[in-house]
Amino acid sequence: MMLLIIVAAVALTYVVPSGAFERTPNGLVVPGSFHTVAKDYGAAFRRSGHSNALASPASPIAVVSAIPVGMVRSAPLIFMILFIGGMFGVLQQTGALESGIERLLAITRGNVRVVVPVLMLLIAAGGTFLGLISEYLVIIPMALVLAERLGYDALFGTALVTIAAKIGYLTSVTNPLALAIAQPIVGVPVFSGAAFRAATFVLFLPLGVWYLLARCRPVSPPAVALAAPVDASSIAPGGAPGAGSRLATRQTLVLVVLLAAIGGMVYGVERFSWGSSELGSMYIAIAVAIAVAGGVSSREASHAFVRGMQGMVLAALLVGLAAAVEVILREAMILDSIVAFLTRSVAGKPPVVVANLMMLMQMVIDVFIPSTSGKAAITMPILGPIGGLSGVSGQVTVQAFLFGNGLMNTLTPTSGMLLAYLATGKVSYGRWIRFIAPLAAALVVLCAAALTIAVVIGL
């Protein structure tokens, strides 16, 4: 599927006129500066290339040559994904993951209607308040084990994390990754309007929880061990201290290390703006700490780390394939042309219509530019003035940006992170779309209603 999308991207470079916006030194688009660039069609087939004064459509060879370029540009994220897999390989080697989940389910007596809402609330809170999204790849293997213990399939475990994370990012109450870029561009204080976004969070998350529980059905009976609370005397034969109790102690220590590491990662992202490279390094360190805490030998830990990485190769490859699409469109200079065309369709209409068209425009642009910061840098300098002339406040313009960005991140096949989620959970894209489409449609309607209310109340 991704290869077909890359072929379609190459074909677009022959159809869409090339053009560019002028940009400020910090990379923001200068409103009203769009100009077309003549396209040298023959350059795509000449070895010598084209003049700097002309654009060029993508060579047919770009169907494959853009993939390594996309992999290189996404290298920090790709290696982070691989190291997440390695870390989980070591974690599984200790047996602490399964033990911790069994304990959690024993405490709740396997009640899925207690476990799921609590976990989804925690995941969504991390997304809406802290901007966590790629970090949640680390949780999907846990969710798969949890789903299996509850008697559900891999789709349930993957959707538990994905729906919660995406709703959190969609509402972005204080998400610094989105708000710190978008709000200053349109001249509103960072994190202002949080009360309105919090109201959408309170409304959308219960819908996501209900949808997951209503659409997914158990495929097997829950584990028998969930029928009654865990008896401490069953840890070791006869209840006497022995190897079993020592193993339980080590497993507890491993889980403490894991929780401390997650807290450390959140602090690093918030305090020091860690990116994929820093987080990838952290996952290596966590793997070593888990191996020491769990009493895993260096040989066993090394083999487990490699096995874990192998399980994430597909997810890492899909991230590179998704990046290749943007590489093709950007080098052919048609991304700015697409943005310019869409923004022209927004201007000159009533405020409520403009606000909702902005959201739809952001949804379309998300297919071509999945990066939140990339979309903000390109679209917000243009939409801010258009919204002002149409009677739409900067706050509502930001809200339309957040909604459009968050809605399509649950659907678009060019979102490397969505593909990584699905590949980690071993859920096909086609099955995911069939599952998530009704919820996505409902959220589109709710977001449109929320934007209408925002305009009416003068947000």
Is residue 41 in some structural domain? no
Spatial neighbors of 64 by CB under 8 A, at least 6 apart, are none
Burial of residue 100 (number of CB atoms within 10 Å: 0-12, 13-18, 19+)? buried
Range of the domain at 153: 73-315
pLDDT recorded at residue 47 = 57
pLDDT recorded at residue 223 = 62
Is residue 117 in some structural domain? yes
Is residue 189 in some structural domain? yes
Q: Looking at 295-312, list the stretches that DSSP marks H as alpha helix, in order from N- to C-terminal side.
A: 298-310
Is residue 148 in some structural domain? yes
Is residue 282 in some structural domain? yes
pLDDT recorded at residue 308 = 86
The answer to whether 328 and 14 have CB atoms below 8 angstroms apart is no
Tell me how far CA of residue 41 lies from CA of 38, 50, 56, 110, in angstroms. 9, 9, 6, 62
- Read off the pLDDT of residues 42-83 as tens digits, 9 standing for 90 and up: 776 765 555 556 888 888 888 888 999 989 988 888 888 888
Is residue 66 in some structural domain? no
Is residue 424 in some structural domain? no
- Read off the pLDDT of residues 401-431 as tens digits, 9 standing for 90 and up: 999 989 988 888 888 788 889 988 989 999 9
The answer to whether 268 and 68 have CB atoms below 8 angstroms apart is no
Say how far apart CA 32 and CA 36 lie, in whole Å: 12
Which residues of the chain register pLDDT less than 70?
44, 46-53, 223-248, 270
pLDDT recorded at residue 246 = 39
Is residue 27 in some structural domain? no
333 φ/ψ sector (left φ>0, alpha ψ -120 to 50, else beta):
left
- Read off the pLDDT of residues 228-267 as tens digits, 9 standing for 90 and up: 443 433 333 333 333 333 346 887 888 888 888 877 877 7
pLDDT recorded at residue 25 = 80
- Spell out a b/e string for 366-385, using b for 16 or more CB atoms within 10 Å of the CB, else e: bbbbbebebbbbbbbbbbbe
pLDDT recorded at residue 238 = 32
- How many independent structural domains does the chain possess? 1
